[in-house]
A and B are shown apart, each in its own frame.
Chain A
C-alpha cells in the first residue's frame, strides 16, 4: 500500500527523522500559513506531480488561497487531488538520495544511497550509487551507516547526520513492514542541516494486521476494480472487451495471454482464487455485468475449486444475473464430468481443453 507524502512524513516524524515544517490541508478553509513563500504540494499517489502542475510556490496568503484552490480542483494522471501539503520553502545547498527496499534476487533488504539526488535514481550512473545488502537475520547495525557514508565520501558533519537518518529509516522500514522507504531528495540545507525533502513509503498490505492504525488508502483503482475489491474479488481492469473469469493467478494470466495472442482484448483479470463457493462464482458475473463486454470466457482447472461448484455458479448466474453476451466455459480437473453435466442440463456447452475454449471465444464474439 502506497502512503501519501503527508502520511509518510508523519511516520518520519514518529521515527525522529527531520522534515520541513508543514501542514496537511484537506479543505479550502484550512488554506492558512504565516511564513512566506510556502510550497503547495498536491497529495496524490503517483509520480510526476511537479510536471503536471501539482507543486507550486505561493508568495502571500492571497496567492496561497488561489493556488491551493486550483490544485485541490485538479486531477493528476486520472487521480483526483484530495488534499494538499503546505511546507516551508527550503534553502537547499545539495540534494542526496537514500532508500531501503527489497532486493528480490538476494531476498534481502538493500540500502541505496547517492550524493546525486533529486532525480530518478534509475538515471544516476552506477559509479555514483552505493548499495549495501542487509542480512535479515543479523539486521541493521551502526557500522553499516559508517561504511555507507565513507563510501559516499561525506564530510564528518554530514556523515554524522546521514548515519542518524539511515538508522532511523531502517527502524521505520522494519517496524512498519515497508516494501520501500525512499527519501528523494535528502536535502542538505545552506546551514548544513540534513532533512527529508520528500518521503515515499510503501507498506506491505499483507502486514496491515500489525499496523491497525494504517487503514487501507483508496489505491489507484478504477470504478470496476473498486467494486470488485469491496466485494472481495481480485480484479484488474485491462481495458479490452472480453470478460474473463478463471482460477489461480497464473492460469488467469495464461488465459489473458491466449486471448491476446488470438487477437482479442481482455477486459479484466479476475481470479476466483482458492474458493469453492457457488455464490463467489455468481458474484463474479454480477461484477462483469457492470462492465462493457462482448463475451465472457470462464477457464477453470479444478483443484481446491471444484468444477461442479463452478458449473452450479454459472447456472445460477444465468438465471439470476441475466448475462446478455455469449459465455464460453472450459472445465478441467476435479469433478469435471459432474460439472459438465450440470452445465448441459442448463443448456450450456463446455470444453475440456483450454485452447478449444479460447478458439470458441474468438468465434462467438465475431
Chain B
C-alpha cells in the first residue's frame, strides 16, 4: 500500500480557478490522481479540464471528495480549511505560503479534535507513485518502490526523490511537511504511518535547521520505530539569527542547529548523509 493517499483518494481543489489551482489540478490528473471537484465562489457551474467547479464545498460534496487541495490566498486559508472540515473532509493539504501561524495553529488544533489530517501549509504535499498525488511535486521524478520519504522542504525533496529514482530505487510515499514553524503533520506523524505500511521497508528523512522536530523524531525512531532510517539535514552552514527562506528555518537562542539534529539522529541509529547524493547508497546499505 502507501500512506495517506491511494487509489481511493478523491481530491477536491479549493481555489481551482486560480493559477496554481488550475495548473496543479491538471498535473494531478496527469499523474493519475482522481480529481473529482473544485470550488471557486462565484464560478460554480464552470469546468477546469473536465473537473466540475462549485461555489461551495457543501455543493462539491456531491462528487464525494475525501481529500482537499487548498490553494486560496493566505488570508482565506483558515476559512477554507474550516469549510472543508464542516463538510467532513478527512485529509487537508494546504499549498499556500505565508499563512499567519496563528491561523495554522487553529486549523491544526481543530483538525486534531475532529480526527482530521492536515499536510502543510507551505509544502509540496503527498505523492504515492502512481496511485495518487495530492500536491505539486513534479510528476516525472518518481518510481514505485519501498522507500518512504519525509521532508520539510520542496525542491530539496525533489532532489532527493530524483536521486533515489535514478539510482535504481523507488518510493512508497513521499510526504512534504512544509517549511513553516507550525505545520499539520510532523515527522512523527508520518513515521507512525510508515510503521504500519507494508510497502515501506526504509525511510529517508530530510530535515533542516530550526525547531526541534528532528530531535523529537530521533527519540521516536530510537524507541518506537521498526524500520531503518537514513537522513540528510540541511543548514549546517547557516549562521544563527538569520531566517533561511523558510519561516521555520532559523537558529534562535542556540536551538535548532544542524549539529544537534545530526547528533540526535545518529544516537538513534540513523545514518546521516553529508551530501544529498549519499542518500541512495545509505539506503542500499540499510536495505541489504
B151 at the interface (CB under 8 A from A): yes
**Docked pose: A253 CA to B257 CA in angstroms:** 13
Segment with Cβ contacts to A, from B59-67, B222-230, B273-281: B273-281
Segment 240-273 of A: residues with Cβ below 8 Å from B = 246-254, 256-261, 266, 269, 271
Segment with Cβ contacts to B, from A16-24, A88-96, A101-109: A101-109
**B239 near A238: Cβ-Cβ < 8 Å:** yes
**Docked pose: A238 CA to B243 CA in angstroms:** 11
**B246 near A261: Cβ-Cβ < 8 Å:** no
Instruction: List A contacts of B153 (CB < 8 A).
Output: 248-251
B244 at the interface (CB under 8 A from A): yes
- Candidates A234, A250, A256; contact of B237 at CB < 8 Å: A256
Assess A253 versus B212: contact at CB under 8 Å? Given A136-B106, A258-B275, A304-B136. no
B245 at the interface (CB under 8 A from A): yes
Segment 274-317 of A: residues with Cβ below 8 Å from B = 274, 301-304
A214 at the interface (CB under 8 A from B): no
**B247 near A206: Cβ-Cβ < 8 Å:** yes
**Docked pose: A299 CA to B239 CA in angstroms:** 21
Q: Mark A311-341, 1 if CB is under 8 A from B, else 0.
A: 0000000000000000000001110000000
**Docked pose: A279 CA to B108 CA in angstroms:** 38
- Closest-CB distance, A23 to chain B (whole angstroms): 31
B128 at the interface (CB under 8 A from A): no
B110 at the interface (CB under 8 A from A): yes
Instruction: List B contacts of A260 (CB < 8 A).
Output: 236-237
Instruction: List A contacts of B102 (CB < 8 A).
Output: 136, 174, 177, 204, 207
Instruction: List A contacts of B239 (CB < 8 A).
Output: 238
**A137 near B159: Cβ-Cβ < 8 Å:** no
**B237 near A332: Cβ-Cβ < 8 Å:** no
Instruction: List B contacts of A334 (CB < 8 A).
Output: 138, 140
Assess A333 versus B216: contact at CB under 8 Å? Given A174-B102, A250-B179, A254-B234. no
- Candidates B99, B162, B246; contact of A332 at CB < 8 Å: B162
Q: Mark A95-133, 1 if CB is under 8 A from B, else 0.
A: 000000010110111000000000000100000000000
**B245 near A234: Cβ-Cβ < 8 Å:** yes
**Docked pose: A165 CA to B26 CA in angstroms:** 52
Instruction: List B contacts of A5 (CB < 8 A).
Output: none
B182 at the interface (CB under 8 A from A): yes
**Docked pose: A71 CA to B239 CA in angstroms:** 29
Size range of the interface on B? 35 or more
**A253 near B154: Cβ-Cβ < 8 Å:** no
Q: Find the B residue at minimum CB distance from A256.
A: B237
What is the count of residue pairs linking A and B with beta-carbon distances less than 8 angstroms?
A: 157
**B158 near A301: Cβ-Cβ < 8 Å:** yes
A87 at the interface (CB under 8 A from B): no
**A271 near B245: Cβ-Cβ < 8 Å:** yes
- Closest-CB distance, A182 to chain B (whole angstroms): 12
**Docked pose: A137 CA to B114 CA in angstroms:** 11
Q: Find the A residue at minimum CB distance from B254.
A: A122
- Candidates A137, A174, A249, A303; contact of B158 at CB < 8 Å: A303
**B182 near A355: Cβ-Cβ < 8 Å:** no
B87 at the interface (CB under 8 A from A): no
A135 at the interface (CB under 8 A from B): yes
Segment 220-243 of A: residues with Cβ below 8 Å from B = 234, 236, 238
- Candidates B179, B206, B238; contact of A256 at CB < 8 Å: B238
**A252 near B244: Cβ-Cβ < 8 Å:** yes
B131 at the interface (CB under 8 A from A): no
**B109 near A135: Cβ-Cβ < 8 Å:** yes
Q: Find the B residue at minimum CB distance from A259.
A: B237
**B237 near A248: Cβ-Cβ < 8 Å:** no
What are 6 pairs between A and B in contact, CB < 8 Å? A105-B213, A249-B153, A253-B209, A260-B237, A301-B162, A355-B275
- Give me 11 other A-B pairs in contact (C-beta within 8 A), A105-B213, A250-B151, A250-B152 excluded: A204-B102, A207-B102, A236-B244, A249-B208, A250-B157, A254-B232, A256-B238, A274-B154, A301-B159, A332-B162, A334-B138
A residues apposed to B, CB below 8 Å? 102, 104-105, 107-109, 122, 135-137, 174, 177, 179, 204, 206-207, 209-210, 234, 236, 238, 246-254, 256-261, 266, 269, 271, 274, 301-304, 332-334, 353-355
